Each structure stands twice: as C-alpha cells, then as structure tokens.
C-alpha cells in the first residue's frame, strides 16, 4: 500500500516537472525546509510554514519548522482543532515518530493515515515536518484551512506551547 502511494506521488511529481519545465521542482517531503520549495511561506507564533499546490491541483505539499526539540504539527480541513485532520511529529534519538489524528474538541485521536508522504528532522534545535496530502477532501475551492502547533516534549499528548490557525489560498 505504502509503495503504491509512493509510486503515485512520484508519478505526479514527474508529471509536474514535465508541465512546468526543468527550472521548477516540486518539493518532495524530506524534512528539510527550503524557502524556494514553497509557493507560499507564512509565519505565525514563531512557526514558519510553507505551502504549495501541484499544477494539476491534486497534491498539497506543506511544511512547518520551529525552534523546538519537542513536537510540531499541522492540521488540515478545519480552522479549529475540532474536525481537523492533523499530523504530529517529533524526533527522538534520531528516529522520527508520527501520528495522524482527528481533532475532537480540544483533544485528538489516531485515524487511518491520510498523508501520501511525510518526513521529519531535528537539526540545530529546529524540528521540521514536511507532508504531502491529497487536495481532495481538504481543499475548499482554492482555500485550505490550516492549523499549526508545537510543543516542548517528545510525545503526542502534551499541550502546545504555541498554536495558530490560518486559511491558505492557492
Ligand atoms: C497535544 C494535545 C493538545 C491539547 C491537550 C490541546 C489543547 C488545546 C486547548 C485546551 C485549546 C484551547 C485554547 C488554549 O488553551 O490554547 C486549544 C486550542 C487550539 N489548539 Fe490545541 N491541543 C492539542 C494539540 C493541538 C494540535 C496538534 C494542534 C495543531 C495541529 C492544535 C491547534 C490548536 C489551535 C489552532 C487552537 C485554537 C483553535 C481552537 O480552539 O481549536 N492543538 N488546544
């Protein structure tokens, strides 16, 4: 299943390159945030985020980087925790841990993974999460409701030290 998703993603990335020409590349989630990878770079509550929609409109690439050695997270499809499909990540002893959750009120619990690809790194005190997700079911017209948060600990239960909600228009 994972391999099928990866093949699908690579195929869509190749499709993008063919359409856009060799000068542009679509960011592949590798856990390294580079401004040039994203059509849109936003900052909120100390968090730096990047967003990009593939030319065929099928795939969203999103990233968050924050000065913390704890967790970072992005949530999609709702301006509040409630109803948001979230992906949380932290890196401990060099290993990236992820959970894909649905927000319910001010809590969240795991659901079937929705990300096409994901990667997280921790370097020089910054934790970065990059994720690819299908636009369908998340995008409302050209707008994506995004929430973001970070925490100081390497676990998925401790509350955020910072959070933000932002509509992203492609
Ligand atoms: C880890 C467990 C979490 C707990 C216990 C928690 C708890 C809360 C609480 C009590 C509030 C109310 C206002 C405040 O106190 O700041 C809140 C608001 C908020 N949280 Fe969380 N949260 C968690 C995870 C997350 C995650 C993972 C995200 C982002 C992906 C997030 C994004 C937000 C946002 C954007 C708000 C303001 C909008 C709203 O009320 O839903 N939270 N959270």
pLDDT digits (tens, 9 = 90+) for 126-150: 999 999 999 999 999 999 999 999 9
* Structural domain range at position 56: 2-169
DSSP characters over the chain = -HHHHHHHHHHHHHHHHHHH-TT--PPPP-S---GGG-SEEEEETTEEEEEEE-TTS-EEEEEEEES-SS-EEEEES-SSSTT-EEEEEEEETTEEEEEEEEEETTEEEE-S---SEEEEEEETTEEEEEEEEESTTTEETTEEEEEEEE-SSSSSSSPPSEEEEEEEE-
pTM (2 d.p.): 0.88
Atom 11 of ligand 1, residue of closest alpha carbon: 106
> If you measure from the C-alpha of residue 44 to the centroid of ligand 1, how many angstroms do you get, rounded to a whole number?
15
For residue 21, the domain's CATH number is 2.60.40.1210
Which is higher by pLDDT, 35 or 10? 35
- Phi, psi values for residue 139, rounded to 5°: -80, 135
Hey, which residues does 144 pair with through a beta bridge?
139, 168
> If you measure from the C-alpha of residue 87 to the centroid of ligand 1, how many angstroms do you get, rounded to a whole number?
13
Which is higher by pLDDT, 152 or 15? 152
pLDDT digits (tens, 9 = 90+) for 2-16: 444 444 444 444 444
pLDDT-above-70 percentage for the chain: 84
Please state the rounded mean pLDDT for residues 50-76.
96
> If you measure from the C-alpha of residue 106 to the centroid of ligand 1, how many angstroms do you get, rounded to a whole number?
6
25 band by pLDDT with thresholds 50, 70 and 90:
low
In the chain, the number of structural domains is 1
Please state the rounded mean pLDDT for residues 95-109.
98
**Site to substitute for ligand 1 among 159, 165, 167, most atoms within 8 A of C-beta:** 159
- State whether the beta carbon of 129 lies less than 6 angstroms from ligand 1: no
pLDDT at 101 over 70: yes
């Amino acid at each position: 299943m994972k391999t099928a998703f990866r093949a699908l993603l690579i195929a869509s990335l190749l499709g993008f390159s063919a359409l856009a020409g060799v000068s542009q590349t679509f960011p592949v989630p590798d856990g390294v945030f580079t401004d040039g990878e994203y059509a849109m770079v936003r900052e909120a509550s100390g968090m730096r985020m990047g967003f990009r929609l593939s030319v065929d409109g099928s795939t969203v690439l999103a990233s968050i980087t924050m000065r913390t050695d704890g967790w970072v997270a992005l949530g999609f499809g709702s301006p509040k925790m409630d109803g948001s499909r979230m992906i949380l990540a932290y890196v401990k002893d060099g290993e990236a841990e992820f959970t894909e959750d649905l927000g319910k009120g001010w809590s969240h619990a795991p659901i079937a993974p929705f990300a096409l690809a994901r990667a997280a790194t921790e370097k020089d005190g910054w934790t970065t999460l990059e994720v690819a997700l299908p636009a369908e079911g998340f995008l409302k017209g050209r707008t994506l409701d995004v929430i973001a948060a970070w925490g100081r600990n390497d676990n998925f239960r401790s509350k955020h030290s910072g959070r933000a909600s932002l509509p992203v228009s492609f």
